[in-house]
Amino acid sequence: MRIAVLNGPNLNLLGTREPALYGRESLADVERSLRTVAREVGADIEFAQHNGEGEMIDTIHQLRGRVDGVVINAGAYTHTSIAIRDALAAIAVPFIEVHVTNVYAREPERRHSMLAQSAVGVVCGLGTYGYELAFRGLTRTLAARV
């Protein structure tokens, strides 16, 4: 089983960007932790982070036929990008949306997700640990479909 973990704008700044809100773990820390989890569950994993919407879409297109599922934190594009939702639908793989903060307890514009309706699940508000929960949940969901 191969899973891609995609991160959107500003997530390259995890650990230093508003640490009171997003915590002190870096994106590299998250990736290191997920590599350990992937070995534990017998999955292959790959990572990408892009600040630009078009770059994210290009990466999603390149996943077609190569991965079984996606864990995605599209950052602010979650709330605005029909194009990212459409790209995920076009590659026809299950995905789980993840957010470090509880987007439903934040500003009104963050309370709507363009992706959630098509997602297998959404994990938010549990800090960077949410990535592990999303990854484990996705691998379990995929294994149950076999």
131 is catalytic: no
CA distance 139 to 89: 19
- What residue has token string 């990854």? 135
99 is catalytic: yes
3-state secondary structure (DSSP) of residue 45:
strand
3-state secondary structure (DSSP) of residue 74:
coil
Residue among 50, 77, 99, 131 flagged as catalytic: 99
Residue among 22, 50, 77, 131 flagged as catalytic: 22
What amino acid positions are annotated as catalytic residues? 22, 99
